[in-house]
Structure 1
Amino acid sequence: MRPARLRLLTASAVLAAAFLGPAAAPGTALADTPAPAASAGSDGEPPAPTEAGTSFRTATAVRPGQQATAQASTGDYLYWQFPADTGDRATVRATVELPDTSARSAAATWRIDVYDGLRRRQACRYGSDRATLAAAATSVQLTCHLRTVRGWAEPWSNDPLPGAYYVRVTAVDLGASDSGLPFRAALDVSLDDAGSAADTDGRLAAPLVQGSAATVEPEDGWSSGWWSARWLWTAAGAALAALAGIWGYTLTRGGGRPAGVPGPAPGHRP
């Protein structure tokens, strides 16, 4: 092939690629790009659990803000766990639904219990942690507002400490003939920040989390253990004390003589 013809064919190929390239590229990209995988949720977090554990060791982890659900039979114990850090005020709500009312012979009492990382039962500040479901009723709600989690406390105080918290929902005072009936439970946990009023001087070396259980952590991680708003108050107090000392010094040196007080007479020597 002659050099002139070869150069002509090469130039034609380059022009064809220049015109056809932009049109063909989108089709190629769509064909080679895989479809995005379905996410767990709109915010990227894992979905809420749909089952519960049957003991402390098998408690299902739930994040604050999620609504966990579970199917069980009356007489079973349902266990969940959630993390609570220093300064958190947790509110635990549970709803129990029994679809079949004709199978129940009498009323039943349902109860929600919350335990800390040492498995000490924590008292509710207020709320209905125990409620009776009438034989003709289909649902009952339980609520427990916990005390503020402290960064450190004496062992005998039973104060809530940072770490894992376990929720147990079960029926008590249940008739023998009503045991084993199916029910559905829903649980949600919310956390409120108590602010600097709950700060203490001491801190735990580590949160109370059982090593064998998979506990979710707070979104921002566990508190570092050394910082609190008390540092701000201490710094502000030190600054005010320094300013007061400077002001007092200027008064004693005569630079801040109060108004209306005459100064020494001219030519007078003390």
Structure 2
Amino acid sequence: MRITRVLSAALLTLGLAAAPAAADSSPSPSASGAGSAPTSAGTSFRTATEFEQGQQATAVGSTGDYLYWSFPADAGQRPTVEATVKLPDTHAAQTWQIDVYDGLRRRQACQYGAQTRTAAQGTPRVDLACTLRTVRAWSEPWADDPLPGTYYIRLSVVNLAPADLGQPIRASVRVGSKDIGGSAAVDGSLAKPLVPGIAAAAKSAENNGSSSKPAVLSSIEPEDGWASGWWSDRWVWTAIGGALAALAGVGGYALTRGMGRPSRVPPGA
């Protein structure tokens, strides 16, 4: 009876602890999408148009232009960038591509997705996608792992007939993230996210003796602030493992208790 109660308590503990872990690993939008989505794009890294995850940014441009946007990504997220280009009614074959760069302007590889696509002659639109690797809270200096901070999207045409140069196009981009959870957790974190201008602004404020919050070039950040993903289901499963080990020890003792003692012989036997 006692062992049954112990096992019941263990199962109840597992259920209560696993519930937040399951919720933590489910896909969810990274930003509320509040505010108006931008309707223009930049022409360089410095002029990239900012938008939040969950929003759909649009822009009107010409074939041959480089279009730039930027968005924030925090530790534990796996961003997916989707882009659509609406082409003119008449055009020759064109090849379009999206590239994603981190806050250090290092080009990030796509885990999967159609990063480059060719639109056949007369095709009205082309759809592109790029799913990045999971953003890590910390990495070795020599590695090119995705890190928390600003990410840049560059949309461009890489193969174009001279007759199509300068024709009008309409582009739209959208970013969504899946929260990966404890499987991507690492022991460490960056002192500051890779946001353009944050280090220079902080150093300038320190030299000037200012205690006010330093200004940064990028004003967009995750909904819950940077490093909001410090908690993960890794902690939950570690606690569950410790609890199970303790329960196994208690259960083993309860099962084997008294087996090593000599049996009592009734007096006068």
* TM-score range relative to shorter protein: 0.7 to 0.9
SS in 1 for 2:186: coil
Matched, 1:54 2:64: no
> Unaligned regions of 5+ residues in structure 2, if any?
1-31, 198-215
Scaled by the length of structure 2, the TM-score of the pair is 0.72
Counterpart pick for 1:71 among 18, 37, 60: 60
Give distance in 2, aligned partners of 1:199 and 1:44.
Answer: 26
- Higher RCO by CA contacts (8 Å cutoff, separation 6 or greater): 2
Q: In structure 2, what is the Cα distance between the partners aligned to 1:246 and 1:133?
A: 66
**Equivalences, count:** 219
Deviations 1:2-37 (A, max 9, x none): xxxxxxxxxxxxxxxxxxxxxxxxxxxxxxxxxxxx
SS at match of 2:136: coil
CA 1:107 to 1:226, structure 2 compared with 1: closer, same or farther past 3 Å? closer
Is the CA contact 1:62–1:68 (under 8 Å) kept in the aligned structure 2? yes
Contact 1:83/1:165, CA 8 A, preserved across alignment? yes
Does structure 2 retain, via aligned residues, the 8 Å contact 1:149–1:159? yes
Aligned residue for 2:61, secondary structure, equals strand
State the identity %.
60
1:129 to 1:215, Cα distance in 2 relative to 1, 3 A = farther
Q: Which residue number corresponds to residue 234 of structure 2?
A: 230
CA offsets 1:38-60 (integer angstroms, 9 cap, x no match): xxxxx892111000011111111
Query: C-alpha offsets along residues 175-218 of structure 1, whole Å, 9 cap, x if unaligned?
Result: 22321111110111111111221111111112111125324111
SS in 1 for 2:142: helix
> In structure 2, what is the equivalent of residue 11 of structure 1?
none
Residue of structure 2 in register with 1:214 after alignment: 218
Structure 1 residue 127: Cα displacement: 0.9
Q: Which amino acid aligns with 2:130?
A: C
Amino acid at match of 2:236: L
Query: Does the Cα contact within 8 Å between 1:83 and 1:215 map onto a contact in 2?
Result: no
Larger Rg: 1
Q: Could you tell me how far 1:68 is from its partner in structure 2? A: 0.7
Q: C-alpha separation between the residues in 1 aligned to 2:168 and 2:33? A: 33
Determine if contact 1:87/1:195 at 8 Å carries over to the other structure: yes
TM-score, length-scaled by structure 1:
0.72
Out of 181, 202, 207, the position equivalent to 1:195 is 181
Matched with 2:81 is 92
Q: Equivalent residue for 1:14? A: none
- Aligned partner of residue 152 in structure 1, secondary structure: coil
- Whichever residue aligns with residue 64 of structure 1, its letter is Q
Gaps of 5+ in 1: 1-42
2:128 corresponds to 1:142: yes
CA contact (8 A) 1:204 1:225 kept: no
Q: Which residue of 1 is the match for residue 15 of structure 2?
A: none
Aligned-CA RMSD value:
2.7
1: CA distance, partners of 2:222 / 2:236: 24
* Matches of 1:131 and 1:224, distance apart in 2: 35
